[in-house]
Structure 1
Amino acid sequence: MAILIVADHDNHTLQAATFSVLTAASEIAKHISDTELHLLIIGNECQSVIAMAQGITGLSKILVADHQIHQYPLAENIAPLIFSLVQEQGHCNDENREFDKVEYSHIITSAGTTGKDYQPRVAALLDVAQISDIISVESADTFKRPIYAGKAIATVQSSDAIKVLTVRSSAFTAASLTTELLAIESQVPVAALAAQADSGKSAFIKAELTQSSRPELTTAKIVISGGRGMQNTDNFELLYTLADQLHAAVGASRAAVDAGFVANDLQIGQTGKIVAPDLYIAVGISGAIQHIAGIAGSKVIVAINNDPDAPIFDVADYCLVADLFEVLPELTAVLKVKG
């Protein structure tokens, strides 16, 4: 019996979300006797990712599908690969390229944009239900997940033979990674999977990536977000300056994104990114329920808004009713002096 974890990576490094998924998988494994954790890496020329994965505590095996068709994470190619692997109930042995019988009880990955794309397809191919965005493991077949934009938590039990799950990475602490050089005999064994044909159903055209020296939004310890109250794109410079002082990531509410103030990849909330920083600062954000769902895991929430009745104040730990255009420059100046 084994749990199959599908890794998030960019062909160079493992994404932080994968380490949280590993923690969730470990919690599931505690409820199953004699189970193993297998990590599936799907990519192209991803040797550095494999080397990094070999330092993860608790893994029994690493399965690698390294082929040109997987250079970009196309769900139409990933889902059939996972399905064929689970359908065979095994994995390829490097030496003789035969399948050792391994029964997978769970297929698990992060609830990011890529995982949300291929996991439903995997579930459909297996004719099982998918359980999305789990935040807690109750047993091997029972999980908790938020519903109604986080206003309620549902406890879901699955009777399917194979559980297909996505994990809200902010709800689980990251698994440990060994940074020391490992002896060959202590490294996690790697098994290469045979290449599969391109499905031909989709093709990668281009990627438009936002370059930033600031921390990544979903893993940052401090996040500063702006809402409709910022009024325009130029005013977001106030947040960028403050973020640089605090070494923070910058986000935005959906209203700010829809208004064109910032790019879509900065959106936080139910339809954007889920964050759980040590400190979340909401500036000019009213606090729609969809936004609150995306920041509920934050340890400390600070809200700055000139409306004393703004819903954001209901969830904030510290509330400041003031004009953001006066507060932000003052706060930046104070931090500059103390820095």
Structure 2
Amino acid sequence: MRIICGLLSSALLFGTALAAEPHAVSFTMQASQQSLRDKARNDTFASTVDAPGWANSRFDVECSAGTAGLWGIGFTRRDETCKVTGKTMLVNPTNHAQQILRINYSGGFVTKPDGYTDARTILANYQKVGTAAAENASFGGSVMMKPENPAASAKALQERLIGYLQEQGGAQGGVSISTEMDTIRFDRFMVPNVGGRGTVDCAWTGDMLYAYANEAWQMDFTVKCGEQTYKLEGNMPWLDVEGQDHQAEYVLNLMTGGGGGAAGGDPFAAADPFAQIDGISGTIKMELSDLVEVRISETETDEVPVSVTAKGTLTGTNVPPDLTYSFAQILAIFARTMFGA
């Protein structure tokens, strides 16, 4: 019992005591998208989220084929059912080999034909550990995956992006820029805390917009972690690795402050790999394999990977570790949206 209580009183204070220190959260994901070959088969996404000396989470998400866009591929799918299982282990900061089960995840989510996804059906069952009580909880809020009729806030974000691209390209009067996009609207999407003393839930409200004009996710969030609220703004472009076939990477640049200028920076500009920002930054590298040909329009086909392996590290600076960790958990829960086809 002394070991357990010691773990609870030291490792679990990480969420608040080190909030001002840069901290790293690693993310890995393995996708197997068998529905690309056979719509009757399910797709699986196995992810881990790890904060050394604090917590380690595993999520296994299994989804039906669902539908996405006219030809059945795209970042946002509807009519899909996803089962979620997993666990969070608390880690002893002085002995990382010592881990204690704190949370079991179960349930899942259904994305309805209109894009509405209720997060409250993803369950988090807290196990009793030392003086920390058992509790039955769940994720909270909802997500709207609706590319055909995005929310007004997503449309406003798109208009800002198109204006930025036109300004950068000097195309105010001449060059046509694609307005095609996929959108995800988060409405108080609450990620339960890892279950330690001092850790807090984080609720995300805002938009993620994947613009085909620049092949990047644009993001605009207000996040409430405990009693503190953070404004986050930025992007995460999909970049092909030069000279490497079937390799790509996401470069995340999600800054606090918002509104551009010294506080928020340029929300649409590419991330500076040498700059340290306040917020969350990092690179997730992807290996794409087992390609299949999929029709993407009446006249075009594209090669889409059945298997995707992703690995990277997210660094949080002047934001609480709870916030950084919860963003990585969002990537895990919605791995199909972020990494799938």
Establish whether TM, by shorter chain, passes 0.5. Answer: no
Larger radius of gyration: 1
More helix by share: 1
More strand by share: 2
